[in-house]
Structure formats: C-alpha cells, structure tokens
Structure 1
Amino acid sequence: MSGLERARRRRRRRSVTVLIVAALLVLGGFAYALAYWTGMAGGGSTEASPTCTPSPTTTPPESRFTVNVYNSSTRSGEADNFSDALKSRDFTVGAVGNDPYKKKLSGVGEIRYGTAGQAYAERFLKPLLPGATMTQDGRTGTSVDVAIGEQFPTVPSRSATPTPSASC
C-alpha cells in the first residue's frame, strides 16, 4: 500500500467521523429542544402561570350582621383594638369585652356563629383571621363572635391597609 492510499483512507475516515459527530450533535439538539418545550427537561412549564384573582372582599354589606369581639387571651385591650379595626372596615360591632365562656385560647382565636351567620363568618371574618377555629354554635341570629387568642395577629384598620395595585 502506498503512502498516497493511506492518506486518502485517513481523510475519508476523518470525514465520516466528523459527519457522524455533527449528525449526533444536531439530533441531540433537536431532542433537547423537544424535551424543553414539553417540560421534560425542566425548562418548560406544564402548569399555567398564575392569573390575577381578586382577593376576597372583607367589607361586609351594611348592617347584615353584628360582630361581637371577646378577649380570650391574657393580654388586655385586644378586643378593643380589634373592634376598632373592624369598625374602620365598616363592620357593625356589638359587644366588646372578655369571653363570656371564660376560655383562654392559645391559638389565633375562634370565630363562633350560628346557621344564619355562617356565610358571613366565612366570607368576611375568616379572611381577616387565617388560622382561627371556625365553631358553629346553637345561636339563631346572624351575629358572629370573634374570641381573640394568644397568637392573634394584628389586623390593620382600613386606613392602614395599602390599596392593591392593578397588576391584572
């Protein structure tokens, strides 16, 4: 075999090797792109992005129900502070004072209501007091009691609440 034939054979092998490597790179690129767009490679998302949903309204209809605020914690003045915050949000506040059941609540608190007041308690008070226990009692009216516990959060008055930006 002459030197010229060996050189041609090496060049041909080199060309075939380069073409195979290039074809594999192109094929790998297409496979990755497909996996990316279908979400298998972690880059694409199969879930829809969150849409803007209006926050639940916490302003009650006028005079539809009364909120009684009771302090069931060891801190004094909590019922007064929360009743002021509710009044600034246009709630009708009834009785304010210590818990008539004499309970001492270690959690956020308790929202007590009757059958007629359940919708009001869930729609208007539960969003203000996440973590509060919802308790249905035997009352007949639409009034709702809020018993403040040891871990009760500070609920700002309406004037201190920032207005949400229109990002939708």
Structure 2
Amino acid sequence: MPANRPTTGLERARRRRERRTLIAIVGALILVGVAVTYAAAYVTGLAPGSKPPAPPASCVRTTPPPAPQSLFTLNVYNASKDQGVAKRTAAALRSRDFTVGAVSNDPYGEQLDGVGELRFGAAGAAYAKQYVLPLFPGATLQQDGRTGTSVDVVLGGDAPSVSEGTPTPTQTLPADCAQYE
C-alpha cells in the first residue's frame, strides 16, 4: 500500500478498534501485575494494613490481669483481746496483693467475740462479699453509710489467721523469642 493513499472510514474504524483493544490489554496486564505484587507483599507482611506474623506459642508472654484486690482499700481493725492481730493480718493481706490502709484498734471501741465484721458502703459491697468474706468465713456483713469502695475488716476473738500469699512468678521467654518483643 502506498503511504499517501487516502484511508477510508472503514480502515480508520478498524485501527481505532485495534488501538482500544491494545489499550485494554495493557491496562488489564498492569492491573494483574499490581494485584500480584500486592498479594506477594501481603503474604510476606510488607503490605500496609497487613498483620505481622504471629509469634509461636512458646514466645507468647502471659501477663496476669491486675489484681482486683488493688481496686479497693482494706482497713484492718482489732476488736479482740489479743494484741498484734490486726498487724499480722494486715501483713498477710498485703502479701496477697490487697491494698491495706489503716491498721489499728477498732475505731468504735467494740470488743467482738465471734469472727468479726466486714464494714463497707454500697460501692464496696461486691468487693467485701467476693474477695474478703472468703478469707473470714462467718464474719458479719455490715453496710454503713460510706461512699467509697473501702472495706473495714474488724477482727473478733475467733477470727481465723490469714496465711500469707505467694508472689506471682515472673515468666522468662526462650532466647529465640527476642524478635517478637
């Protein structure tokens, strides 16, 4: 075909179709390439929004939840004839991760013969029943007008001795787990 030959409308339409087809094929190939690259980056963990690989089970550090005993304060009072009961009981409660406030003789000056009393306000009722009463079974529950979460343990003559708790063990991880910290 001579170069200067006039083109007909059909030939121009055919060339436009070929050009559009070529553009569509190149566009589709580019999209496939981008998708494959993103998928490879996602699998290797380099894509934005992808999660890092999970550490093996031997490298997961388990931290105990905060002790619920630290959410309220225990005041320990002696209402028995024995001396030093409140001090010994307070030390044992501290070793069990309780937050201990006042340690003294009963501020009401009562002498109790039974196990004792647990005094608390409306906000501390759940703490007294769930965490303190199991340590002093048989103690009388007495709700007073206080607004805070503190609980008073008033020890009577038959109060059980509370044993000291064991400290929470620390966890060491294997040396090959350093990359996950």
User: Shift of residue 87 of structure 1?
Assistant: 0.2
CA RMSD for the aligned pairs? 1.6
After superposing on structure 2, the runs of 4+ consecutive aligned residues of structure 1 that deviate more than 4 Å are none
Structure 1 partner of 2:89: 82
2:96–2:165 contact (8 Å) kept in structure 1: yes
CA distance, structure 2, for counterparts of residue 62 and residue 107 of structure 1 = 25
1:60–1:124 contact (8 Å) kept in structure 2: no
Which protein is richer in helix relative to its size? Answer: 2
**1:60-119 deviation per Cα after TM superposition (whole angstroms, max 9, x unaligned):** 415310000000000000000100010000000000000000000010000000000000
Aligned pair partner of 1:155 in 159, 162, 177 = 162
| 2:143 is equivalent to residue 136 of structure 1 | yes
Q: Percent identity?
A: 57
Structure 1 residues not aligned, in runs of 5+: 1-58, 161-168
CA distance, structure 2, for counterparts of residue 112 and residue 60 of structure 1 = 21
2:112–2:156 contact (8 Å) kept in structure 1: yes
Structure 2 residues not aligned, in runs of 5+: 1-65, 168-181
2:69–2:131 contact (8 Å) kept in structure 1: no
Write out aligned runs for 1:122-133 (5 A): 122-133=129-140
Question: Is the alpha carbon distance of 1:118 and 1:60 closer, same or farther for their aligned partners in structure 2, counting shifts above 3 Å?
Answer: farther
**Secondary structure in 1 aligned to 2:109?**
coil
Aligned pair partner of 2:152 in 114, 126, 145 = 145
2:74 partner amino acid: V
Aligned pair partner of 1:63 in 60, 70, 75 = 70
Structure 1 partner of 2:8: none
- TM-score, structure 1 length as denominator? 0.58
Bigger Rg, structure 1 or 2: 2
CA distance, structure 1, for counterparts of residue 151 and residue 142 of structure 2 = 10
2:141 partner amino acid: M
**Secondary structure in 2 aligned to 1:96?**
strand
Question: Is the alpha carbon distance of 1:78 and 1:62 closer, same or farther for their aligned partners in structure 2, counting shifts above 3 Å?
Answer: closer
- Size of the alignment, in residue pairs? 102
1:65 partner amino acid: F
- TM-score, structure 2 length as denominator? 0.54
